Amino acid sequence: SEQITVADLAQRMAVKAREVTKLLMKMGEMARESDTIDQATASLVVEEMGHNPVLVSDTKVEDDLQDAVDERSSNVQTRPPVVTIMGHVDHGKTSLLDKIRETKVATGEAGGITQHIGAYHVETDRGVITFLDTPGHAAFSAMRSRGAQATDIVVLVVAADDGMMPQTEEAIDHARAAGTPLIVAINKMDKPSADPDRVLNELTTKEVVSEDWGGDTPMARISAKTGDGIDELLELIGLQAELMELEAPLDGAAQGVVIESKLEKGRGAVVSLLVKKGTLKQGDLVLAGEHYGKVRAMTDERGQRIKSAGPSIPVEILGLPETPAAGSEFLVVTDEKKAREVADFRTNREREQQLERQNKMRLENMFEQM
Ligand code: GDP
Ligand code: MG
């Protein structure tokens, strides 16, 4: 029979996947967002949430588009891992991202990383690693609620002088719900008050157990201030990526996810994309969320003009007429008519869903006032 993943279902209803897993739990079904459920259960969820089920014919437009992209992809190769850094406020997420950027990009190398495009990639002894540098659980959730699985590995930063905190636990829950493997970076090891064993202990209460203690979570002791342990952390990321055997077609139409987007005076929509499959080229016709346009210019995180970008590589592009939402999927299409058709279809659907949400809210408010 027909199956759908929880994440896909949530995306079709334009609700957070977490809302669906919660509801399923209430219905007595434990399911993660990557799990599939059958059509009967899906219909129940849809009914329960007060949406009209999306007709199969509605999604046909999208499926056809996807088929066209898949047809054109070839030459499957190992791809770099995409890493998101999470953790409690002030535990050192930004410092770690800065330190990696600073130490792994040879000084004097064309420009260094100067642009903030929402992600950057570095070369390590174990190959390229891409970091999303819009940390924060909100960004992670926003992407996932749109069904965009942009992150392969979560690095959880825990300050050795502070230990496990509420947002540490939240990050563990997020990673687990997404089925994303976790690597723990015990940070601020340079501080005299650092107590890594306490961190290890506290983490076991969330069933995050270090490999040293017989568990399966890789952990590195680091200082984002001095840089100590960062090579070891990168090594652990590389090893984890090897285990995961991450692959993507290198050739063919590009597909991926919008990391962030903004309007800039004189430049128009400036959109950061992470390529997941295929190779994105200057001049390509990109459909992102409800907007489409030709890639007029493309730069990397060093502000360098580039002509193409392959899997797991972040780029900033100009050429879209408006800003698509972070977490939207993008893909390259060959047919402008098709692009317009899908963009229109999505715009209409978005409008309908917004109306539905408003109606639902109105109803809820009415009940609350009674
Ligand atoms: P975020 O909120 O997780 O992004 O944390 P930040 O990177 O902004 O760091 C919070 C504070 O901790 C800042 O004052 C940093 O300088 C400091 N900090 C971060 N990492 C370290 C470290 O390894 N050692 C020490 N001593 N301080 C650190
Ligand atoms: Mg920060």
Q: Is 190 annotated as ligand-binding?
A: yes
Is 36 marked as a binding-site residue? no
134 is in an annotated binding site: yes
**pLDDT mean for each 10 residues of the chain (370 residues):** 82 84 86 87 79 56 78 90 94 94 65 76 92 72 69 96 96 90 98 97 97 94 98 97 96 92 92 96 95 96 93 96 90 89 84 78 65
Specify the 3-state DSSP secondary structure of 207: coil
Whether the Cβ atoms of residue 161 and residue 195 lie closer than 8 Å to each other: yes
The one-letter amino acid code at 306 reads: I
- CB of 190 sitting under 6 A from ligand 1: yes
Number of H helices, E strands in the chain: 10, 19
Return the ligand number nearest the Cα of 87: 1
pLDDT confidence of residue 57 = 47
Pocket flag, ligand 1, residue 93 (CB < 6 Å): yes
- Known binding residue 217? Answer is no
**What is the set of active-site residues?**
90, 93-94, 137
- The rounded Å distance from CA 92 to ligand 1 centre is 4
Tell how far the Cα of 83 is from the centroid of ligand 2, in angstroms: 16
pTM, 2 dp: 0.80
Tell me the CA–centroid distance for residue 95 and ligand 1, in Å: 6
161 lines ligand 1 (CB under 6 A): no
Distance CA 333, CA 335 (A): 6
What pLDDT does 74 receive? 85
Ligand 1 touching residue 94 (CB < 6 A): yes
Rounded to the nearest angstrom, the distance between the alpha carbon of 85 and the centre of ligand 1 is 13
Q: Give 211-245 as a DSSP string.
A: GGGTSSB-EEE--TTT-TTHHHHHHHHHHHHHHHT
Instruction: Please name the residue that has the structure tokens 């499957």.
Output: 76
d(CA 44, CA 144): 22
Which pLDDT score is estimated for 247?
96
For residue 255 and ligand 1, the question of a CB distance below 6 A is answered with no
Cβ–ligand 1 distance for 224 under 6 Å, the answer yes
279 is in an annotated binding site: no
Residue owning the nearest CA to atom 18 of ligand 1: 92
Instruction: Name the residue of 84, 88, 95 to mutate for ligand 1: max ligand atoms within 8 A of Cβ.
Output: 95
How far is residue 364 from each of residues 24, 53, 179, 352, 361, measured CA to CA in Å? 21, 20, 33, 18, 5
Strands, DSSP E only, in 224-328? 247-251, 255-264, 268-277, 280-281, 285-288, 291-294, 297-299, 308-309, 314-318
Q: Which tokens is 179 given?
A: 């089925």
Ion ligand 2 neighbours (CB, 5 A) are 93-94
258 Cα to the center of ligand 2, angstroms? 21
